[in-house]
Structure 1
Amino acid sequence: MVEAERRLLAHALLDRSNARFLLLSESHVPLFDFPTVYSYLINSTKVYVESYDELGGTGRGRYKRGMSPAVAPWQWRKGSQWFELDRALAADVVADDIYFPLFKRFCKRNCYADEHYLPTFLHIRHPARAAKRSVTWVDWSHGGPHPSRFTRMEVTVDFLRWLRGGTMCEYNGRTTTVCFMFARKFLPNSLTRFIRFAPKVMGFG
């Protein structure tokens, strides 16, 4: 999966007008209109890759000793695969010939490279560049290996308003409630509700 993401980045880098690179899935939905999302990302001083140190079995427990000394256990990081990078860091990821080969060789079985490669790579190479959070909201509150999925009737005005401003984060050195530009996982049957509420709640024309 990481190899596919690097190939996507390499292809996108061929267009010199591309300044920011965002990975989305078919179950993502935008929470703001395009001008707002574009301004938020293009004017950001950080890139958005979730990255944290988890000491348990699903964090440092997945570290493989064969990665040492290039990657030490204390450098190992975990995070969501839903990244957002600027052009310089995207190029650095594509050009990486040190860490990616290690992940390809050693991160197998109970190690999931899409949850560890980018967080670890940026923590080692560019620790000050990442906001250490994602711009994609996901609900992990129910536990388990997969996040919650949302159906048509779960999409309400109050829920959308909360997604757009119900949390606190930092953006360009200031505290804000505008933290997420996208949310997932929404099933296809929820689309009609989004179309219904979009003009009123999300400012879509």
Structure 2
Amino acid sequence: MKRRSYGIRWRTKLAVLLSLSFCIGTLVLIRKQHDRILSLDNSVSSQPHPKPKIAFLFIARNRLPLDVIWDAFFKQEQEEGKFSIYVHSRPGFLFNQATTKSRYFYGRQVNNSIQVDWGEASMILAERILLHNALKEATNERFIFLSDSCIPLYNFSYTYEYIMSSPTSFVDSFADTKEGRYNPKMHLVIPMHNWRKGSQWAVLIKKHAEIIVNDTTVLPEFQKHCRRRSLPEFWRDRPLSIDASKEHNCIPDEHYVQTLLAQHGLEDEITRRSLTHTVWDMSSSKGHERRGWHPLTYRLSDASPKLVKTIQKIDNIYYETEYRREWCSSRGKPSLCFLFARKFTRAAALKLLDTGALILN
């Protein structure tokens, strides 16, 4: 009886010992797994997070005549981790060593470009194509539209900090009440109180870029009802069958982004100005040949340190249609208004760079 009782106690102790060993082993494994997970988490957290990028979206006819200027601008960002470049040029045009002097533009053309005509909805489509391509890169957080005649006024670091520090888009936008621009046929989709006008050279946050790319409501109305008036220089060669004075003079790229954001009720998320300086008032320009529907073009004789400093010092904008003057601000403090300027010929831009009037490093 004692021997039997001793055998039972021994088996009980063995079972307890095995159970205890199993529990200890399990705890050791759990601890090792926990330490491994922590190690992986620490490894991931120690990896540098990708820097938010600015997508520079160039709209060009063919090549970029001011590529040397932009090469000097982008060179300052040594890591090339804060920007990406996309160019919409004519279909089939390639940026390589034969067509550009800047390596930053090699292969940066979008492959689904279209033929663009000034004053037509094709300009809107080109902008949407650029945004669509840029949104494929997750790190792109800001999107800048630039023409092939734009120059930067400051170096990359200043430009990057200025743009990334603002939570808003920079979109020149004002209520357009001038008769003849708004087509009443759009009323059922785009009411008159949402009709806006401004510069196409906008800087967009990602949310607004996505809204533009995904728009299927406002764009069709623009394609049907927003067209420029026939240009006077074409009247002799192509007589009009209708009275031109009765045409609506709607320039799609000057209305689309502004009106679309108004339609979505997002105007409190924009700073109502463009960061690109353009001169439209040519009343004081020399020579009748420099007058027209297009902005003033700065030529070789115009390029000087005084011109650059004059544009850089602008700190307020007067909105004639609204009879108001607005002082520019950044991060809640007074600031300069413009980071870019247009339109510059290649000769004028190179003179600014060569003479030190334009300092980009």
Does the pair score TM above 0.5? yes
What is aligned with 1:182? 340
* 1:21-170 equivalent positions in 2, closer than 5 A: 21-57=143-179, 61-109=180-228, 110-125=249-264, 126-142=266-282, 144-168=292-316, 169-170=328-329
> 1 or 2, which has the higher strand percentage?
2
Q: Matches of 2:360 and 2:276 in 1, distance apart?
A: 19
1:167, CA displacement in angstroms? 2.5
When the two chains are superposed, the root-mean-square deviation of aligned CA atoms in Å is 1.6
1:194, CA displacement in angstroms? 1.7
1:4, CA displacement in angstroms? 1.2
Q: Matches of 1:197 and 1:87 in 2, distance apart?
A: 37
Q: Is it true that 1:17 corresponds to 2:17 in the alignment? A: no
What is aligned with 2:65? none
Gaps of 5+ in 1: none
Q: Is the 8 A contact 1:46 1:172 kept in 2?
A: no
Gaps of 5+ in 2: 1-122, 229-248, 284-291, 317-327
1:202, CA displacement in angstroms? 4.5
Q: Is the 8 A contact 1:151 1:187 kept in 2?
A: yes
TM-score, normalising length: structure 2? 0.53
Q: Matches of 2:199 and 2:275 in 1, distance apart?
A: 10
Q: Is the 8 A contact 1:50 1:133 kept in 2?
A: yes
- C-alpha distance after superposition, 1:49-101 (max 9, x if no partner): 111123224xxx21122222321112111111111101111011101111112
Q: Is the 8 A contact 1:77 1:116 kept in 2?
A: yes
Q: Matches of 2:258 and 2:353 in 1, distance apart?
A: 34
Q: Matches of 1:157 and 1:76 in 2, distance apart?
A: 39
Q: Matches of 1:98 and 1:189 in 2, distance apart?
A: 43
| DSSP-derived class of the 2:140 partner | coil
Largest Rg, 1 or 2? 2
Q: Percent identity?
A: 33
Aligned length: 199
TM-score, normalising length: structure 1? 0.90
